Amino acid sequence: MDDDLLEFCRSIPKIELHAHLNGCIRSSTFRQLLSSSDDQNRLDQLEQTFAQGNTHSRMANVFEKFALLRSCVTNLDEIRRITYETLEDFSNDNVIYAELRTRPRSFDQGRIPSSAYIETIIDVIKQFQEKICARLILSIDRIQSVEQATETFQLAQQYRDYVVGLDLSGDPNVKSFERFRSIFDLAKQVNLSTTIHIGELPDEECLNENNLILDYEPTRLGHFNFRTNEQEQRVIQEKIPLELCPTSNLLTMNLNDFAEHHFNLFYTNKHPIAICTDDSGLMDCCLSTEIYNIAKSFHLSKKDLYEFCFRATNLIFDKNALKFLQQKLEEFSQQSNIF
Ligand code: 5GP
């Protein structure tokens, strides 16, 4: 390991643009929240079998873990804790701006509404504002109904001070972008940025859905692991920014190492890219090491990395924060003598 480069990746001020709040849960917290030994055993089993399968079975494994996680987070105190620990972890890793995405949910059979879920997260974001500038992206889950997705859009509108975007995520086996297209059109009408998970499975249906997503022209795209050459060229020509999550992509795509990741293809085309963590808790990774692994695999110098991180700031949804982030990076470059 190149200690000097790793230290550089740790100390450079970073931005995180693709982090699912509940997926950031510390594994120790996840274990504590699991109430029964059956659930503990199920988690052990899922962790042991994950690496055995192909993309489809790995995805199924990950989504079973998400379901288990969802079943053990049952109240606002737990969401408060997860948000607190997530922001603490990012801030300790010198992340200075983070867009956390989450699917709003109610608790206690609706007695605690989704608005309380969002307000709880915003409360913690405010507590951390001196250390890290955090914003929210609300996620529509592929399995939801149009009514539920509409409610999410309305919540996004209601909390626009902190909510900066709308996401589509959830089990990629469910091809539902078309169903939600009208809601994403509404987002455009009110200038709410959008990010869509695209190309997560190596199948025909997924490749077909990629076209529908690209036709919509979202503000950013997540992953783009599986795609046709034509789709690749289209994204490059239209300069649609990509959120790439190396560890998560490596695991679900079943790649041998980071050198096989599609980062380089887009990087060499000078494409707008952000390196992100996806689910730092469940994937056991942090942003510094994600950036380090990519830098190491594709022989990026400190100067390359600095320029990469600087360019990535242009991809944030809350443009009000741009000047502050770029200033922080400039201060860092003056102190670290990279040029
Ligand atoms: P939450 O929205 O509950 O805060 O974060 C966890 C949820 O994010 C998961 O249940 C899942 O729906 C979504 N998610 C996390 N990682 C991925 C991913 O890699 N791909 C997709 N499509 N969805 C994800």
How many angstroms separate the CA atoms of 206 and 253, rounded? 14
Dihedral over Cα of 336, 262, 241, 132: its sign = negative
pLDDT at 2: 83
Q: Enumerate residues 6+ apart whose C-beta is below 8 A from 184.
A: 166, 168, 194, 196, 216, 218
Whether the CB-CB separation of 119 and 155 falls below 8 Å is answered with no
pLDDT at 76: 98
Of the residues 24, 81, 120, 169, which should be mutated to test ligand 1's pocket, given the most ligand atoms within 8 Å of the CB? 169
How long a stretch of residues is the chain?
A: 339
Of the residues 20, 101, 213, 245, which should be mutated to test ligand 1's pocket, given the most ligand atoms within 8 Å of the CB? 20
Tens digits of residue pLDDT in 112-170: 999 999 999 999 999 999 999 999 999 999 999 999 999 999 999 999 999 999 999 99
Assigned token pair, 41: 């055993």
**What are the Cα distances from residue 317, in Å, to 134, 145, 220, 294?**
11, 26, 9, 24
pLDDT at 233 over 90: yes
**What are the Cα distances from residue 220, in Å, to 115, 131, 183, 195?**
26, 26, 16, 5
Find the largest Cα–Cα distance for the chain: 57
Tens digits of residue pLDDT in 53-91: 899 999 999 999 999 999 999 999 999 999 999 999 999
Residue nearest to atom 23 of ligand 1 (CA): 170
pLDDT at 279: 98
Tens digits of residue pLDDT in 1-35: 789 999 999 999 999 999 999 999 999 999 999 98
Distance 338 CA to ligand 1 centre (A): 37
Distance 169 CA to ligand 1 centre (A): 6
Q: Please tell me whether residue 166 adopts helix, strand or coil conformation.
A: strand
pLDDT at 339 over 80: no
β-bridge mates for residue 278, sequence order: 19
Whether the CB-CB separation of 322 and 133 falls below 8 Å is answered with no
Whether the CB-CB separation of 135 and 317 falls below 8 Å is answered with yes
Task: Name the average pLDDT for the chain.
Answer: 97
Query: How many CA atoms lie within 13 Å of 17's alpha carbon, on the beta-carbon side?
Result: 29
What ligand 1 atom has the least distance to the C-alpha of 139?
Answer: 2
Distance 23 CA to ligand 1 centre (A): 7
What ligand 1 atom has the least distance to the C-alpha of 171?
Answer: 22
Distance 73 CA to ligand 1 centre (A): 14
What ligand 1 atom has the least distance to the C-alpha of 223?
Answer: 19
Ligand 1 pocket list (CB less than 6 A): 20-23, 66, 102-103, 139, 141, 169-170, 172, 197, 200, 248, 278-279
Distance 229 CA to ligand 1 centre (A): 27
Distance 126 CA to ligand 1 centre (A): 24
Whether the CB-CB separation of 247 and 277 falls below 8 Å is answered with yes
**Phi, then psi, of 276 in degrees rounded to 5:** -140, 175
What ligand 1 atom has the least distance to the C-alpha of 21?
Answer: 4
Of the candidates 279, 283, 282, the one whose C-alpha atom is nearest the C-alpha of residue 30 is 282
Cβ neighbours around 162 below 10 Å, total? 17
Distance 40 CA to ligand 1 centre (A): 21
What ligand 1 atom has the least distance to the C-alpha of 22?
Answer: 4
Residue with tokens 């529509």: 140
Distance 335 CA to ligand 1 centre (A): 38
Cβ neighbours around 57 below 10 Å, total? 13
What ligand 1 atom has the least distance to the C-alpha of 103?
Answer: 2
Q: Would the pTM count as exceeding 0.95?
A: yes
Angle at 113 between CA 277 and CA 137, to 5 degrees: 25
Residue nearest to atom 12 of ligand 1 (CA): 170
Q: Enumerate residues 6+ apart whose C-beta is below 8 A from 259.
A: 297, 298
pLDDT at 338: 80
pLDDT at 51 over 90: no
Distance 69 CA to ligand 1 centre (A): 11
Q: Enumerate residues 6+ apart whose C-beta is below 8 A from 144.
A: 103, 152, 170
Q: Enumerate residues 6+ apart whose C-beta is below 8 A from 303.
A: 338, 339
